[in-house]
Structure 1
Protein backbone atom coordinates (compact mmCIF):
# COMPACT_ATOMS: atom_id res chain seq x y z
CA UNK A 1 0.00 0.00 0.00
CA UNK A 2 1.50 3.39 -1.00
CA UNK A 3 2.69 5.36 2.05
CA UNK A 4 3.04 2.30 4.31
CA UNK A 5 6.32 0.61 5.16
CA UNK A 6 7.74 -2.13 2.98
CA UNK A 7 6.97 -5.59 4.34
CA UNK A 8 9.35 -8.52 4.62
CA UNK A 9 7.59 -10.11 1.63
CA UNK A 10 8.05 -6.89 -0.39
CA UNK A 11 11.77 -7.02 0.31
CA UNK A 12 11.99 -10.66 -0.73
CA UNK A 13 10.33 -9.72 -4.01
CA UNK A 14 12.86 -6.92 -4.52
CA UNK A 15 15.76 -9.30 -3.84
CA UNK A 16 14.35 -11.79 -6.39
CA UNK A 17 13.69 -9.13 -9.02
CA UNK A 18 17.18 -7.73 -8.62
CA UNK A 19 18.55 -11.19 -9.37
CA UNK A 20 16.32 -11.28 -12.45
CA UNK A 21 17.61 -7.86 -13.57
CA UNK A 22 14.23 -6.10 -13.23
CA UNK A 23 14.36 -2.26 -13.19
CA UNK A 24 13.30 -0.22 -10.17
CA UNK A 25 10.46 1.48 -12.05
CA UNK A 26 8.90 -1.90 -12.86
CA UNK A 27 9.42 -3.09 -9.27
CA UNK A 28 7.62 0.00 -8.07
CA UNK A 29 4.76 -0.56 -10.49
CA UNK A 30 4.34 -4.17 -9.35
CA UNK A 31 4.44 -3.23 -5.65
CA UNK A 32 2.32 -0.11 -6.13
CA UNK A 33 5.14 2.09 -4.83
CA UNK A 34 6.92 5.17 -6.18
CA UNK A 35 10.15 4.40 -8.01
CA UNK A 36 11.99 6.63 -5.51
CA UNK A 37 10.90 4.33 -2.66
CA UNK A 38 12.41 1.29 -4.35
CA UNK A 39 15.59 3.15 -5.30
CA UNK A 40 16.08 4.43 -1.74
CA UNK A 41 15.39 0.99 -0.25
CA UNK A 42 18.03 -0.66 -2.40
CA UNK A 43 20.63 2.10 -1.93
CA UNK A 44 20.42 2.11 1.86
CA UNK A 45 20.60 -1.70 2.14
CA UNK A 46 23.60 -2.83 0.15
CA UNK A 47 22.95 -1.51 -3.37
CA UNK A 48 22.21 -3.46 -6.55
CA UNK A 49 24.91 -6.05 -5.89
CA UNK A 50 24.54 -6.52 -2.14
CA UNK A 51 20.81 -6.21 -1.35
CA UNK A 52 19.49 -8.99 0.96
CA UNK A 53 15.86 -9.05 2.06
CA UNK A 54 16.47 -10.38 5.60
CA UNK A 55 19.17 -7.80 6.34
CA UNK A 56 17.04 -5.00 4.85
CA UNK A 57 14.08 -6.06 7.00
CA UNK A 58 16.19 -6.03 10.16
CA UNK A 59 17.55 -2.57 9.32
CA UNK A 60 14.03 -1.29 8.60
CA UNK A 61 12.75 -2.53 11.97
CA UNK A 62 15.64 -0.82 13.76
CA UNK A 63 14.92 2.45 11.99
CA UNK A 64 11.24 2.19 12.92
CA UNK A 65 12.13 1.67 16.59
CA UNK A 66 14.46 4.66 16.55
CA UNK A 67 11.78 6.84 14.96
CA UNK A 68 9.20 5.79 17.54
CA UNK A 69 11.64 6.56 20.32
CA UNK A 70 12.39 10.00 18.90
CA UNK A 71 8.74 10.87 18.35
CA UNK A 72 7.46 9.51 21.65
CA UNK A 73 7.80 12.24 24.28
CA UNK A 74 9.10 11.58 27.76
CA UNK A 75 6.39 11.53 30.46
CA UNK A 76 7.25 15.10 31.50
CA UNK A 77 6.71 16.30 27.93
CA UNK A 78 3.15 15.06 27.57
CA UNK A 79 1.68 18.42 28.43
CA UNK A 80 -1.84 19.42 27.66
CA UNK A 81 -2.55 22.70 25.95
CA UNK A 82 -3.95 23.99 29.25
CA UNK A 83 -0.66 23.15 30.97
CA UNK A 84 1.31 25.00 28.30
CA UNK A 85 -0.91 28.05 28.70
CA UNK A 86 -0.43 27.92 32.46
CA UNK A 87 3.36 27.88 32.06
CA UNK A 88 3.23 31.01 29.91
CA UNK A 89 0.72 32.81 32.13
CA UNK A 90 2.60 32.03 35.34
CA UNK A 91 5.88 33.02 33.73
CA UNK A 92 4.33 36.36 32.82
CA UNK A 93 3.32 36.90 36.44
CA UNK A 94 6.82 36.09 37.68
CA UNK A 95 8.30 38.41 35.07
CA UNK A 96 6.13 41.15 36.57
CA UNK A 97 8.02 40.72 39.87
CA UNK A 98 11.33 41.50 38.15
CA UNK A 99 12.48 38.04 37.02
CA UNK A 100 13.63 38.13 33.36
CA UNK A 101 11.04 36.75 30.97
CA UNK A 102 13.07 33.80 29.67
CA UNK A 103 14.28 32.92 33.16
CA UNK A 104 10.63 32.95 34.29
CA UNK A 105 9.62 30.55 31.50
CA UNK A 106 12.48 28.17 32.26
CA UNK A 107 11.75 28.27 35.99
CA UNK A 108 8.03 27.53 35.58
CA UNK A 109 8.83 24.77 33.10
CA UNK A 110 11.01 23.10 35.74
CA UNK A 111 8.48 23.81 38.47
CA UNK A 112 5.68 22.05 36.60
CA UNK A 113 7.65 19.02 35.39
CA UNK A 114 6.88 15.76 37.18
CA UNK A 115 10.45 15.24 38.32
CA UNK A 116 11.26 18.94 38.94
CA UNK A 117 14.24 18.46 36.66
CA UNK A 118 14.83 18.71 32.92
CA UNK A 119 17.76 18.62 30.52
CA UNK A 120 18.69 21.50 28.26
CA UNK A 121 17.25 19.56 25.32
CA UNK A 122 13.96 19.09 27.22
CA UNK A 123 13.71 22.84 27.85
CA UNK A 124 14.57 23.71 24.25
CA UNK A 125 11.88 21.33 23.01
CA UNK A 126 9.22 22.44 25.46
CA UNK A 127 9.77 26.18 25.15
CA UNK A 128 10.73 26.11 21.45
CA UNK A 129 13.72 28.37 22.02
CA UNK A 130 17.42 28.15 21.26
CA UNK A 131 19.93 26.32 23.51
CA UNK A 132 21.71 29.65 24.03
CA UNK A 133 18.52 31.20 25.45
CA UNK A 134 18.11 28.29 27.86
CA UNK A 135 21.76 28.48 28.92
CA UNK A 136 21.52 32.20 29.66
CA UNK A 137 18.31 31.77 31.66
CA UNK A 138 19.78 28.88 33.66
CA UNK A 139 22.86 30.96 34.44
CA UNK A 140 20.66 33.72 35.84
CA UNK A 141 18.53 31.31 37.90
CA UNK A 142 21.66 29.69 39.32
CA UNK A 143 23.05 33.09 40.30
CA UNK A 144 20.03 33.70 42.56
CA UNK A 145 20.04 30.11 43.86
CA UNK A 146 16.72 29.06 42.33
CA UNK A 147 18.11 26.22 40.17
CA UNK A 148 20.78 23.56 40.72
CA UNK A 149 22.46 20.98 38.52
CA UNK A 150 22.40 17.19 38.62
CA UNK A 151 23.12 14.19 36.42
CA UNK A 152 20.97 11.62 34.70
CA UNK A 153 21.25 8.13 36.25
CA UNK A 154 23.45 7.12 33.32
CA UNK A 155 25.69 10.14 33.94
CA UNK A 156 25.67 11.20 30.30
CA UNK A 157 23.40 14.23 30.49
CA UNK A 158 23.21 17.18 32.85
CA UNK A 159 19.86 18.04 34.36
CA UNK A 160 18.64 21.30 35.83
CA UNK A 161 16.86 20.82 39.14
CA UNK A 162 14.68 22.70 41.60
CA UNK A 163 13.99 21.34 45.08
CA UNK A 164 11.53 21.79 47.91
CA UNK A 165 13.55 24.59 49.53
CA UNK A 166 13.52 26.84 46.49
CA UNK A 167 10.85 29.22 47.81
CA UNK A 168 12.56 29.49 51.18
CA UNK A 169 15.84 30.47 49.50
CA UNK A 170 14.07 33.01 47.31
CA UNK A 171 12.31 34.42 50.37
CA UNK A 172 15.60 34.76 52.25
CA UNK A 173 17.25 36.43 49.27
CA UNK A 174 14.50 39.06 49.11
CA UNK A 175 14.62 39.61 52.88
CA UNK A 176 18.36 40.20 52.73
CA UNK A 177 17.97 42.66 49.84
CA UNK A 178 15.27 44.59 51.71
CA UNK A 179 17.47 44.78 54.82
CA UNK A 180 20.32 46.21 52.75
CA UNK A 181 18.03 48.86 51.26
CA UNK A 182 16.78 49.76 54.77
CA UNK A 183 20.34 50.06 56.10
CA UNK A 184 21.38 52.26 53.16
CA UNK A 185 18.36 54.51 53.70
CA UNK A 186 19.32 54.94 57.36
CA UNK A 187 22.85 55.93 56.35
CA UNK A 188 21.37 58.47 53.94
CA UNK A 189 19.19 59.87 56.72
CA UNK A 190 22.29 60.46 58.84
CA UNK A 191 24.15 62.08 55.92
CA UNK A 192 21.41 64.48 54.88
CA UNK A 193 20.09 65.02 58.39
CA UNK A 194 16.88 63.64 59.93
CA UNK A 195 15.14 67.03 59.80
CA UNK A 196 15.77 67.70 56.08
CA UNK A 197 13.28 66.85 53.36
CA UNK A 198 15.67 64.26 51.92
CA UNK A 199 16.36 62.81 55.36
CA UNK A 200 12.67 62.47 56.14
CA UNK A 201 11.99 60.71 52.84
CA UNK A 202 14.94 58.37 53.35
CA UNK A 203 13.83 57.63 56.91
CA UNK A 204 10.34 56.67 55.71
CA UNK A 205 11.85 54.51 53.01
CA UNK A 206 14.17 52.84 55.52
CA UNK A 207 11.33 52.04 57.89
CA UNK A 208 9.22 50.62 55.04
CA UNK A 209 11.94 48.25 53.83
CA UNK A 210 12.90 47.37 57.40
CA UNK A 211 9.32 46.23 58.00
CA UNK A 212 9.38 44.13 54.84
CA UNK A 213 12.64 42.57 55.93
CA UNK A 214 11.36 41.96 59.45
CA UNK A 215 8.20 40.30 58.20
CA UNK A 216 10.06 38.11 55.71
CA UNK A 217 13.02 37.18 57.87
CA UNK A 218 11.38 36.00 61.03
CA UNK A 219 14.46 33.99 62.04
CA UNK A 220 16.76 37.02 62.24
CA UNK A 221 16.34 37.62 65.99
CA UNK A 222 15.32 35.39 68.85
CA UNK A 223 12.34 36.21 71.05
CA UNK A 224 14.72 36.74 73.97
CA UNK A 225 16.76 39.39 72.14
CA UNK A 226 13.61 41.17 70.99
CA UNK A 227 12.32 41.17 74.59
CA UNK A 228 15.63 42.62 75.80
CA UNK A 229 15.48 45.32 73.12
CA UNK A 230 12.01 46.37 74.24
CA UNK A 231 13.12 46.42 77.89
CA UNK A 232 16.10 48.62 76.99
CA UNK A 233 13.81 51.04 75.14
CA UNK A 234 11.53 51.21 78.19
CA UNK A 235 14.60 51.92 80.37
CA UNK A 236 15.70 54.83 78.19
CA UNK A 237 12.19 56.28 78.16
CA UNK A 238 11.97 56.00 81.94
CA UNK A 239 15.41 57.50 82.54
CA UNK A 240 14.79 60.42 80.13
CA UNK A 241 18.52 61.15 80.02
CA UNK A 242 21.56 59.87 78.13
CA UNK A 243 22.93 56.57 79.43
CA UNK A 244 26.05 54.60 78.61
CA UNK A 245 25.94 50.83 78.03
CA UNK A 246 27.53 50.42 81.47
CA UNK A 247 24.77 52.57 83.02
CA UNK A 248 22.12 50.43 81.34
CA UNK A 249 23.81 47.17 82.36
CA UNK A 250 23.98 48.27 86.01
CA UNK A 251 20.39 49.53 86.11
CA UNK A 252 18.95 46.46 84.41
CA UNK A 253 21.15 43.92 86.18
CA UNK A 254 22.59 42.66 82.86
CA UNK A 255 26.12 42.16 81.62
CA UNK A 256 27.44 44.64 79.05
CA UNK A 257 27.26 42.09 76.21
CA UNK A 258 23.54 41.63 76.76
CA UNK A 259 23.06 45.38 76.49
CA UNK A 260 25.19 45.45 73.33
CA UNK A 261 23.09 42.67 71.78
CA UNK A 262 19.86 44.56 72.53
CA UNK A 263 21.25 47.78 71.04
CA UNK A 264 22.39 45.87 67.96
CA UNK A 265 18.90 44.40 67.56
CA UNK A 266 17.37 47.88 67.65
CA UNK A 267 19.93 49.12 65.13
CA UNK A 268 19.19 46.26 62.73
CA UNK A 269 15.42 46.41 63.24
CA UNK A 270 14.42 50.02 63.89
CA UNK A 271 10.78 48.97 63.71
CA UNK A 272 11.22 47.61 67.25
CA UNK A 273 11.34 51.14 68.65
CA UNK A 274 8.88 52.81 66.25
CA UNK A 275 7.61 55.59 66.71
CA UNK A 276 10.73 56.26 68.77
CA UNK A 277 14.38 55.93 67.85
CA UNK A 278 17.44 55.09 69.93
CA UNK A 279 20.07 57.73 69.25
CA UNK A 280 23.79 57.37 69.97
CA UNK A 281 25.89 60.45 70.74
CA UNK A 282 29.54 61.02 69.90
CA UNK A 283 30.31 60.42 73.58
CA UNK A 284 28.85 56.91 73.37
CA UNK A 285 25.68 57.57 75.32
CA UNK A 286 22.20 56.55 74.25
CA UNK A 287 18.92 58.44 74.43
CA UNK A 288 15.41 57.84 73.17
CA UNK A 289 13.93 60.43 70.79
CA UNK A 290 10.83 60.65 68.58
CA UNK A 291 11.37 59.62 64.99
CA UNK A 292 11.85 62.86 63.04
CA UNK A 293 9.55 61.71 60.23
CA UNK A 294 6.57 61.06 62.50
CA UNK A 295 5.80 64.75 62.99
CA UNK A 296 5.89 67.61 60.52
CA UNK A 297 7.72 70.86 61.31
CA UNK A 298 4.38 72.56 61.90
CA UNK A 299 3.29 69.84 64.32
CA UNK A 300 6.53 70.06 66.26
CA UNK A 301 6.30 73.85 66.43
CA UNK A 302 2.73 73.60 67.67
CA UNK A 303 3.68 71.11 70.35
CA UNK A 304 6.71 73.14 71.46
CA UNK A 305 4.58 76.29 71.72
Structure 2
Protein backbone atom coordinates (compact mmCIF):
# COMPACT_ATOMS: atom_id res chain seq x y z
CA UNK A 1 0.00 0.00 0.00
CA UNK A 2 1.43 3.36 -1.02
CA UNK A 3 1.81 5.81 1.91
CA UNK A 4 -0.75 8.60 1.95
CA UNK A 5 -0.37 12.36 1.74
CA UNK A 6 -2.32 14.82 3.89
CA UNK A 7 -2.69 18.56 3.31
CA UNK A 8 -2.55 20.58 6.53
CA UNK A 9 -2.85 24.24 7.40
CA UNK A 10 -1.59 26.41 10.25
CA UNK A 11 -3.36 29.68 10.98
CA UNK A 12 -1.25 32.66 11.99
CA UNK A 13 -3.69 35.45 12.73
CA UNK A 14 -4.59 38.33 15.00
CA UNK A 15 -7.39 37.44 17.41
CA UNK A 16 -10.28 39.71 18.30
CA UNK A 17 -8.78 40.46 21.69
CA UNK A 18 -11.26 40.37 24.58
CA UNK A 19 -14.22 39.94 22.19
CA UNK A 20 -15.82 36.49 22.14
CA UNK A 21 -18.41 37.22 19.46
CA UNK A 22 -15.84 38.63 17.01
CA UNK A 23 -13.45 35.81 17.92
CA UNK A 24 -15.99 33.24 16.79
CA UNK A 25 -16.48 35.12 13.50
CA UNK A 26 -12.72 35.13 12.95
CA UNK A 27 -12.45 31.39 13.60
CA UNK A 28 -15.23 30.70 11.11
CA UNK A 29 -13.55 32.95 8.54
CA UNK A 30 -10.22 31.13 8.85
CA UNK A 31 -11.98 27.75 8.63
CA UNK A 32 -13.44 28.89 5.31
CA UNK A 33 -9.97 29.96 4.14
CA UNK A 34 -8.59 26.59 5.15
CA UNK A 35 -11.29 24.84 3.14
CA UNK A 36 -10.58 27.00 0.09
CA UNK A 37 -6.89 26.06 0.37
CA UNK A 38 -7.81 22.37 0.39
CA UNK A 39 -6.70 21.69 3.96
CA UNK A 40 -7.78 18.47 5.65
CA UNK A 41 -6.52 19.58 9.07
CA UNK A 42 -6.34 23.13 10.42
CA UNK A 43 -4.43 24.26 13.52
CA UNK A 44 -5.12 27.55 15.32
CA UNK A 45 -2.68 29.23 17.76
CA UNK A 46 -2.71 28.96 21.53
CA UNK A 47 -5.66 30.82 23.14
CA UNK A 48 -6.91 32.27 19.86
CA UNK A 49 -10.17 32.79 21.71
CA UNK A 50 -10.21 35.38 23.23
CA UNK A 51 -6.43 36.08 23.11
CA UNK A 52 -3.16 35.47 24.89
CA UNK A 53 -3.17 38.44 27.32
CA UNK A 54 0.49 39.23 26.79
CA UNK A 55 1.76 42.26 28.71
CA UNK A 56 -1.17 42.49 31.14
CA UNK A 57 -0.51 42.19 34.87
CA UNK A 58 -4.06 41.95 36.19
CA UNK A 59 -2.84 44.47 38.78
CA UNK A 60 -1.39 41.78 41.02
CA UNK A 61 1.77 41.38 43.06
CA UNK A 62 2.70 38.70 45.55
CA UNK A 63 0.33 39.01 48.49
CA UNK A 64 -2.05 41.55 46.94
CA UNK A 65 -4.89 41.64 44.43
CA UNK A 66 -7.12 44.61 43.59
CA UNK A 67 -10.57 45.46 42.28
CA UNK A 68 -8.94 46.80 39.12
CA UNK A 69 -7.32 43.41 38.51
CA UNK A 70 -10.58 41.58 39.28
CA UNK A 71 -12.39 43.75 36.72
CA UNK A 72 -9.77 42.83 34.12
CA UNK A 73 -10.16 39.17 35.05
CA UNK A 74 -13.94 39.47 34.65
CA UNK A 75 -13.41 40.90 31.16
CA UNK A 76 -11.14 38.02 30.19
CA UNK A 77 -13.44 35.46 31.82
CA UNK A 78 -16.56 36.84 30.12
CA UNK A 79 -14.94 36.59 26.69
CA UNK A 80 -13.56 33.08 27.17
CA UNK A 81 -15.47 30.15 25.70
CA UNK A 82 -17.40 27.33 27.33
CA UNK A 83 -17.78 23.84 25.86
CA UNK A 84 -21.39 23.30 24.83
CA UNK A 85 -22.11 27.03 24.56
CA UNK A 86 -23.91 28.66 21.60
CA UNK A 87 -20.52 30.03 20.49
CA UNK A 88 -19.07 26.52 20.41
CA UNK A 89 -22.09 25.29 18.49
CA UNK A 90 -21.51 27.95 15.82
CA UNK A 91 -17.91 26.82 15.40
CA UNK A 92 -19.00 23.16 15.22
CA UNK A 93 -21.54 24.00 12.51
CA UNK A 94 -18.88 25.80 10.47
CA UNK A 95 -16.51 22.84 10.76
CA UNK A 96 -19.23 20.42 9.75
CA UNK A 97 -19.97 22.55 6.69
CA UNK A 98 -16.26 22.76 5.82
CA UNK A 99 -15.59 19.07 6.39
CA UNK A 100 -12.08 19.27 7.85
CA UNK A 101 -10.44 18.41 11.17
CA UNK A 102 -9.74 21.44 13.39
CA UNK A 103 -7.58 21.96 16.46
CA UNK A 104 -8.49 25.24 18.15
CA UNK A 105 -6.55 26.95 20.93
CA UNK A 106 -8.84 28.68 23.43
CA UNK A 107 -9.14 29.91 26.96
CA UNK A 108 -11.81 27.54 28.21
CA UNK A 109 -14.20 28.48 30.99
CA UNK A 110 -15.35 25.81 33.41
CA UNK A 111 -19.15 25.64 33.59
CA UNK A 112 -18.99 24.85 37.32
CA UNK A 113 -16.76 27.00 39.49
CA UNK A 114 -15.63 29.27 36.69
CA UNK A 115 -11.91 28.48 36.52
CA UNK A 116 -10.13 29.11 33.22
CA UNK A 117 -7.88 26.68 31.34
CA UNK A 118 -5.57 27.08 28.37
CA UNK A 119 -7.04 24.37 26.14
CA UNK A 120 -6.63 22.79 22.72
CA UNK A 121 -10.00 21.62 21.40
CA UNK A 122 -10.05 18.82 18.80
CA UNK A 123 -12.96 18.70 16.34
CA UNK A 124 -13.76 15.95 13.84
CA UNK A 125 -14.69 16.93 10.31
CA UNK A 126 -18.36 16.52 11.26
CA UNK A 127 -17.89 19.34 13.78
CA UNK A 128 -18.19 17.12 16.83
CA UNK A 129 -15.78 17.77 19.70
CA UNK A 130 -13.47 14.75 19.82
CA UNK A 131 -11.76 15.81 23.03
CA UNK A 132 -9.62 18.50 24.62
CA UNK A 133 -6.18 18.95 26.05
CA UNK A 134 -5.70 21.39 28.91
CA UNK A 135 -2.23 22.78 29.55
CA UNK A 136 -0.58 20.67 32.25
CA UNK A 137 1.40 23.51 33.77
CA UNK A 138 0.83 27.15 32.85
CA UNK A 139 4.10 29.04 32.56
CA UNK A 140 5.18 31.84 34.90
CA UNK A 141 2.40 34.33 35.61
CA UNK A 142 0.02 32.35 33.40
CA UNK A 143 -0.60 30.37 36.61
CA UNK A 144 -2.44 33.38 37.98
CA UNK A 145 -5.14 33.18 35.29
CA UNK A 146 -5.22 29.51 34.21
CA UNK A 147 -5.60 26.32 36.20
CA UNK A 148 -3.46 23.26 35.57
CA UNK A 149 -4.62 19.85 34.37
CA UNK A 150 -3.54 16.24 34.84
CA UNK A 151 -2.82 13.08 32.88
CA UNK A 152 -6.34 12.53 31.61
CA UNK A 153 -5.83 15.65 29.47
CA UNK A 154 -3.08 13.98 27.41
CA UNK A 155 -5.48 13.02 24.64
CA UNK A 156 -4.64 11.61 21.21
CA UNK A 157 -6.70 10.55 18.20
CA UNK A 158 -6.31 7.90 15.51
CA UNK A 159 -7.99 9.53 12.51
CA UNK A 160 -8.17 8.87 8.78
CA UNK A 161 -5.44 11.52 8.43
CA UNK A 162 -3.09 9.87 10.91
CA UNK A 163 -2.45 9.75 14.64
CA UNK A 164 -2.83 13.24 16.04
CA UNK A 165 -1.93 14.78 19.41
CA UNK A 166 0.27 17.43 20.93
CA UNK A 167 1.13 19.90 23.67
CA UNK A 168 0.71 23.62 24.20
CA UNK A 169 3.61 26.09 24.17
CA UNK A 170 6.16 25.48 26.94
CA UNK A 171 4.68 22.09 27.82
CA UNK A 172 6.85 21.12 24.88
CA UNK A 173 9.90 21.75 27.06
CA UNK A 174 8.77 18.94 29.40
CA UNK A 175 10.64 15.83 28.17
CA UNK A 176 8.31 13.38 29.90
CA UNK A 177 5.22 15.09 28.49
CA UNK A 178 6.67 14.79 24.99
CA UNK A 179 7.52 11.14 25.60
CA UNK A 180 3.98 10.51 26.79
CA UNK A 181 2.76 11.66 23.38
CA UNK A 182 5.44 9.75 21.46
CA UNK A 183 4.39 6.56 23.25
CA UNK A 184 1.01 6.88 21.57
CA UNK A 185 2.65 6.83 18.15
CA UNK A 186 1.81 10.44 17.24
CA UNK A 187 2.38 11.11 13.54
CA UNK A 188 1.04 14.69 13.34
CA UNK A 189 2.20 16.55 16.44
CA UNK A 190 0.47 19.87 17.19
CA UNK A 191 2.34 22.60 19.08
CA UNK A 192 0.27 25.79 19.28
CA UNK A 193 2.21 28.48 21.09
CA UNK A 194 2.53 32.09 22.21
CA UNK A 195 6.34 31.98 21.97
CA UNK A 196 7.55 34.23 19.15
CA UNK A 197 11.27 33.93 19.89
CA UNK A 198 13.45 32.66 17.04
CA UNK A 199 14.66 29.95 19.44
CA UNK A 200 11.20 28.37 19.26
CA UNK A 201 12.05 27.21 15.75
CA UNK A 202 14.86 25.09 17.18
CA UNK A 203 12.45 23.58 19.70
CA UNK A 204 9.98 22.62 16.99
CA UNK A 205 12.68 21.09 14.81
CA UNK A 206 14.01 19.14 17.78
CA UNK A 207 10.55 17.70 18.50
CA UNK A 208 10.19 16.61 14.88
CA UNK A 209 13.58 14.91 14.92
CA UNK A 210 13.12 13.39 18.36
CA UNK A 211 9.59 12.10 17.80
CA UNK A 212 10.06 11.34 14.09
CA UNK A 213 6.75 13.08 13.45
CA UNK A 214 5.39 16.00 11.48
CA UNK A 215 5.10 19.09 13.69
CA UNK A 216 2.65 21.95 13.20
CA UNK A 217 3.34 25.04 15.31
CA UNK A 218 0.94 27.98 15.19
CA UNK A 219 1.26 31.40 16.81
CA UNK A 220 -0.64 34.70 16.78
CA UNK A 221 0.48 37.92 15.14
CA UNK A 222 -0.40 40.76 17.54
CA UNK A 223 0.47 44.44 17.81
CA UNK A 224 -0.14 46.75 20.74
CA UNK A 225 -2.71 48.60 18.65
CA UNK A 226 -4.81 45.43 18.44
CA UNK A 227 -5.63 45.63 22.16
CA UNK A 228 -8.83 47.39 23.26
CA UNK A 229 -8.42 51.07 24.09
CA UNK A 230 -9.19 50.35 27.76
CA UNK A 231 -5.90 48.46 28.09
CA UNK A 232 -3.56 50.74 26.16
CA UNK A 233 -2.28 52.44 29.34
CA UNK A 234 -1.35 49.02 30.75
CA UNK A 235 0.87 48.41 27.73
CA UNK A 236 2.85 51.65 27.72
CA UNK A 237 6.18 49.85 28.10
CA UNK A 238 5.44 47.15 25.56
CA UNK A 239 6.83 47.13 21.98
CA UNK A 240 4.63 48.02 19.01
CA UNK A 241 4.70 44.40 17.79
CA UNK A 242 3.93 42.15 20.74
CA UNK A 243 3.99 38.80 18.95
CA UNK A 244 5.80 38.40 15.61
CA UNK A 245 4.33 34.96 14.94
CA UNK A 246 6.83 32.42 13.65
CA UNK A 247 4.34 29.68 12.71
CA UNK A 248 5.97 26.75 10.96
CA UNK A 249 5.44 23.21 9.64
CA UNK A 250 8.33 20.73 10.00
CA UNK A 251 9.02 17.26 8.59
CA UNK A 252 10.09 14.18 10.64
CA UNK A 253 13.66 14.88 9.53
CA UNK A 254 13.55 18.45 10.86
CA UNK A 255 13.18 20.06 7.44
CA UNK A 256 11.02 23.19 7.18
CA UNK A 257 8.02 22.48 4.93
CA UNK A 258 6.34 25.89 5.36
CA UNK A 259 7.30 29.07 7.18
CA UNK A 260 8.40 30.34 9.52
CA UNK A 261 6.01 33.23 8.97
CA UNK A 262 6.99 36.51 10.64
CA UNK A 263 5.30 39.88 11.15
CA UNK A 264 2.05 39.21 9.31
CA UNK A 265 -1.09 37.14 9.26
CA UNK A 266 -1.32 34.18 6.95
CA UNK A 267 -2.22 30.55 6.35
CA UNK A 268 0.70 28.14 6.04
CA UNK A 269 -0.03 24.93 4.15
CA UNK A 270 1.97 21.80 3.41
CA UNK A 271 1.48 18.34 1.94
CA UNK A 272 2.58 15.75 4.49
CA UNK A 273 4.02 12.71 2.73
CA UNK A 274 3.77 9.76 5.10
CA UNK A 275 6.50 7.99 3.13
CA UNK A 276 8.88 10.50 4.69
CA UNK A 277 7.57 9.63 8.13
CA UNK A 278 8.22 5.94 7.53
CA UNK A 279 11.69 6.54 6.06
CA UNK A 280 12.68 8.64 9.06
CA UNK A 281 12.35 5.59 11.32
CA UNK A 282 15.22 3.77 9.60
CA UNK A 283 17.86 5.05 11.98
CA UNK A 284 15.87 6.43 14.91
CA UNK A 285 12.62 5.58 16.67
CA UNK A 286 12.56 6.83 20.26
CA UNK A 287 9.72 4.49 21.28
CA UNK A 288 10.69 1.66 18.93
CA UNK A 289 14.06 0.18 17.98
CA UNK A 290 16.00 3.04 19.61
CA UNK A 291 14.22 2.64 22.94
CA UNK A 292 15.65 0.82 25.94
CA UNK A 293 12.64 -0.40 27.94
CA UNK A 294 14.98 -2.59 29.98
CA UNK A 295 16.52 0.63 31.33
CA UNK A 296 13.79 3.28 31.05
CA UNK A 297 10.05 3.04 31.70
CA UNK A 298 7.56 5.89 31.81
CA UNK A 299 4.32 5.65 33.76
CA UNK A 300 1.83 8.37 32.84
CA UNK A 301 -0.96 8.58 35.38
CA UNK A 302 -4.44 8.56 33.82
CA UNK A 303 -3.34 9.14 30.23
CA UNK A 304 -6.27 8.01 28.06
CA UNK A 305 -5.99 5.40 25.35
CA UNK A 306 -5.82 6.81 21.85
CA UNK A 307 -9.35 7.44 20.54
CA UNK A 308 -10.19 5.83 17.23
CA UNK A 309 -12.14 8.32 15.12
* Fold match by TM threshold 0.5: no
Q: Whose Rg is larger?
A: 1
Q: Bigger relative contact order, structure 1 or 2, given CA contacts below 8 A and separation 6+? A: 2
> Quick check: which one's helix share is greater?
1
- Could you tell me the TM-score, scaled by structure 2's length? 0.22
TM-score by length of 1: 0.22
Q: Which has the higher strand share?
A: 2
